[in-house]
Chain A
Amino acid sequence: MRADYITTNIAIAEGAMAAGLMFYAGYPITPASDLFEYLASVLPSRNGVVAQFEDEIASINAVIGASWAGVKAMTATSGPGFSLMVEGLGLAIITEAPLVVVDIMRAGPSTGVPTKATQSDVYQVRFSSHGIYSIPVLVPWSAQEGFDLAVKAFNIAERLRTPVVLLSDAVLAHAWEKVSLRSSEEIQVVNRKKPKNLEEGMFPFKPENDLVPPMPCFGEGFGVKVESLSHDERGWYAPDNETYKKLVWRLVKKIENNMSLIWDSERYFTNDAEYAIVAYGSVARPAYAAVKEFRREGYKFGLYRLKTLWPFNDRDVANSLRKIKKVFVVENNEGKMYREIARSVKSAEVISVPLINLEVPPPEEIEEAVKEWL
């Protein structure tokens, strides 16, 4: 383990490499470009490949190909690039290709404000691909967590044969912080299940009890079939209702049933709290400062911070906030995750505090907005 002073973008790149990243494909976009540049400068010397493609569509498809070729692969982009990747993301979901997509949120719609942050893509990363599916989305609040959650994202991707989104933003991306960097030997690294024999390798979509099929990859001696159409366990096109239903239910359930593997949240000062702020990502930082300030003023505030956004864990959210009287959901958008929190928490009044601020709302702005409801 070594300590360094790096940005969240670099921390994510380091975490990905520690987890075993071997292939990165991307197209430059602010505020994700420096993650790409950093990997281009270091990954080749670790025998990995970094490639720039003509756009984000080609990039994510190259990443899917690399994943099917048996290596750990990643791309990084921002909202506009993610829009282009959405079709490919669906392909990764239905072909069950383990990979990581890093989305560094900036201000949209469209090209918006490229260098500034909001938290406006929390639905985009979950719902923008068509069809029936579920996808894990992890959200760091510091450079250290950029490293830690990059490792976790790869481990989930490999364990569940699924794309995973790591959702950061422009402010976090370029904040410099102390990060404890661990090597591959110092962290837990998960690798995808492989077919045990040729017979098993004939069924690239036949799940085991955990709903996850072992993955035969190119070049390993299996006749690999990768099918984007609805398919049976052999990977053969099967448009009938039974096969389709079975497939998409499994795609959803292998994620939702493994909630404990994916979900994480943290509580601060919630033991005796009457009020709680719910926040995630960069906004959780000033929210934490605001909670401490409220405490100094005598208000019993706590902070409940989401480290995973999707799949949404209704039960953990409801349990964590069950003793709270008023819950304030503070986010840097028009109030998106508020709907999920309000749906889950029946025991308290849940109030949306949408604070759109290109620089991340400062603690004072949060305090002022929340105080109106006290």
Chain B
Amino acid sequence: MRKEFLAAGRGGQGILILGHVLGLAAAKYTGLYVTGTESYDAETRGGDSRVDLIFTDSQDELDYFKVRSADIALFMYSDQLLKYRRLVGNEAIVFIDSSFHIPELRSSWQVYRVPYTDMAEEKLGTHVVANMIALGHIIRKTGLIDREAVISSIKEVVRKRWVSVDLKAFELGMELDP
């Protein structure tokens, strides 16, 4: 088994935390192997945040560090979709924050459009947990990592005062059924 996961957002959207939660969940709470790389810019400058994660069930399958053909992708903004679409595989499951304008998509993709950011604002009173709604949605639709493993990982990675609202956001994402 080998799954490539790509997530892109802007500084402050919690993309790196989402990646860290997933990576730790896999490494510590499942038998999977994982390689993760991140790149980011300053939040105040609104630069891109990008996380590449590669999950395998054997060490031999781990090679190059970066995503080349994502099986699962999350884009928080449309311009990132345009920028990174060459890294998304033809059969990919693609999650897009529809709070923002969405450009043309590849027809072979299985696409979920959810206004993660608006939903976070409306239901939980803060846009900053949009990442966890998206994470819940990804886990629900792809079964990439066991739900309990992700919950344990959230509790470990996220700062204490954010744990309960992040878990609520994660469960909200798990319940999404569009």
Contact = CB atoms under 8 A, between A and B. Distances in A.
Interface size bracket, A side: 20 to 34
Contacts of A364: 68
A289 B24 contact: no
B64 A142 contact: no
Which 7 A-B pairs have CB atoms at the shortest separation, nearest pair first? A178-B27, A5-B27, A289-B63, A176-B36, A5-B24, A288-B63, A289-B64
B37 A5 contact: no
Contacts, number: 63
Interface string A286-314: 10110010000000000000000000000
30 contacts: A3-B27, A3-B28, A5-B20, A5-B23, A5-B24, A5-B26, A5-B27, A5-B36, A171-B65, A175-B35, A175-B65, A176-B20, A176-B34, A176-B36, A177-B27, A177-B34, A177-B35, A177-B36, A178-B27, A179-B27, A285-B63, A285-B64, A286-B65, A288-B64, A289-B64, A292-B63, A360-B65, A362-B66, A363-B68, A364-B68
B33 interface: yes
B34 A5 contact: yes
Interface of B: 20, 23-24, 26-28, 32-38, 62-66, 68
Contacts of A316: none
Contacts of A37: none
Given A4-B28, A142-B62, 16 more contacts: A3-B28, A4-B27, A5-B27, A5-B28, A174-B37, A174-B38, A175-B35, A175-B65, A176-B20, A177-B35, A177-B36, A177-B62, A288-B63, A360-B65, A362-B64, A362-B66
Nearest to A288: B63
Instruction: Give the secondary structure class of B's interface.
Output: mixed
A299 to B, nearest CB: 17
B24 to A, nearest CB: 4
B64 A176 contact: no
Contacts of B38: 174, 176
Contacts of B68: 362-364
A157 to B, nearest CB: 27
Contacts of A360: 65
Contacts of B24: 4-5
A271 to B, nearest CB: 15
A360 B35 CA distance: 15
A52 B62 CA distance: 36
A176 B63 contact: no
Nearest to B22: A5
A286 B34 contact: no
Determine which residue in A171, A177, A178, A363 has the highest number of CB atoms from chain B within 10 A of its CB, and name it.
A178
Contacts of B35: 175-177
Contacts of B33: 177-178
Nearest to B60: A268
Nearest to A172: B65
B27 A363 contact: no
Contacts of A292: 63
A360 B23 CA distance: 22
Contact of B23 (A176, A286, A363): A176
Contacts of A177: 27, 33-36, 62
Contacts of A4: 24, 27-28
A177 B36 CA distance: 6
A206 B68 CA distance: 56
Max count, chain B CB within 10 A of own CB: residue among A177, A360, A364? A177
Contacts of B20: 5, 176
A292 B62 CA distance: 11
A20 to B, nearest CB: 25
A334 B143 CA distance: 45
Contacts of B62: 142, 177, 285
Contacts of B32: 178
Contacts of B28: 3-5, 178
B16 to A, nearest CB: 10
A175 to B, nearest CB: 5
Interface string A166-200: 00000100111111000000000000000000000
A259 B59 CA distance: 28
Contacts of B27: 3-5, 177-179
Contacts of A179: 27
Interface string A333-367: 00000000000000000000000000010111000
A285 B65 contact: yes
Nearest to A363: B64
Contact of A175 (B26, B37, B63): B37
